[in-house]
Amino acid sequence: MSTPHLMNTYNRLPVTFVKGQGSTLWDTEGKAYLDALSGVAVCGLGHAQPDIAQAICEQAQTLIHTSNIYGIEWQERLADRLCAISGMEKVFFCNSGAEANEAAIKLARLHAHRKGIADPRIVVMESSFHGRTLATLSATGNRKVQAGFEPLVGGFVRVPYGDLDTLRQVGNHDRNIVAVLVEPVQGEGGVRVPPSSYLQGIRELCDQHGWLMMVDEVQTGIGRTGEWFGFQHAGIRPDVMSLAKGLGNGVPVGACLAAGAAAGLFAPGNHGSTFGGNPLVCRVAHTVLGVIERDGLLARARTLGERIRGGLAARLSGTKGVVEVRGLGLMIGTQLDRPCGELVKLALARGLLINVTADSVIRLLPALVMSDEQADALVDGLVDLVTEFLSGGAKA
């Protein structure tokens, strides 16, 4: 089914799904697909998860929305839980990752003005992705998403990802810098994992200069990397953190968390959201956290990621055209030496859902609940597809 009334904002694949269970989706013709994308890192608990379905059903029959004019019990419970697992202190709830990053940018601006800096600048990274609102696409290090939307929002300084020396040099020469916004692992940028000391180094520079360290955990958060949050691999705490995607397992919810000096910046009237933090989404997000903890899914993300990554690396080793298999937890990228966007449709025809980002990186974002058998089937299918593609023989 198609309609001429939808805006042409997506280059959709020729398939419509009608049912899901775990890591399997079925289309309108009854064909089954192995889902290795999870709605782009959203459905970490898989499709039709029973606890999530029950939470949605019960809360929808009780109370969906009242607005933030009033107290919201599930919002308070979720804020307490998020702060307990992250070490952060305050939470603002919104509806998406872009909104969470907008809140982070506004916090940085408030921080600047309270320090008497009239022209504040935030350091952002090349190849980053932070959203598609005007401010977040301006922060994004991808010219394709910015083109046609000029003039962009000012106040951003861009440096190479993973490069502490350049960040240090910029900080020594620009007294208007007030914050650094960084992804613990770049997702849209090609599943790029920085050096192990990178986040620690940013933390040290932020402490030295009085900057806010702001981490975009929209894709890396909620267990995706094998810890609750990507920054926890570095043993540090940021000043600001943005969340969305996996927090709601498909229900739209975002959050901006703050600690230290950043925690007290917002006051009534500084920021808000009509739908943000309503009882329905907060109960679902609270349930997501409970299931991850109950079922040991952080450890599962680590072992499953190692299984898939190791399988791909071993079987593609020495294959001409494969540059690298890399990742952290269940963020896995296989970089080829050539553009490979056509692999998405080729995989779809074989019942496999994958993604290609940064033109030449096959990105896998499986659910934390994918079985070992499904993981092995994913490796088998992808190895066959890549091998045939690189030899010129892959066909739909």
Catalytic residue list: 129, 216, 245
Measured distance CA(225)–CA(206) in Å, rounded: 24
Directed axis angle between helix 279-294 and helix 50-60, to 10°? 160
Six-digit token pair at 175?
């007294």
222 to each of 16, 82, 125, 350, how far by Cα in Å? 27, 10, 22, 30
Six-digit token pair at 272?
């808000």
125 to each of 157, 183, 360, how far by Cα in Å? 8, 9, 20
- The stretches of the chain forming alpha helices (DSSP H) are 38-41, 50-60, 73-86, 97-114, 134-139, 143-146, 164-173, 198-209, 279-294, 297-316, 343-349, 372-390
For residues 205 and 182, the answer to whether their CB atoms sit within 8 Å is no
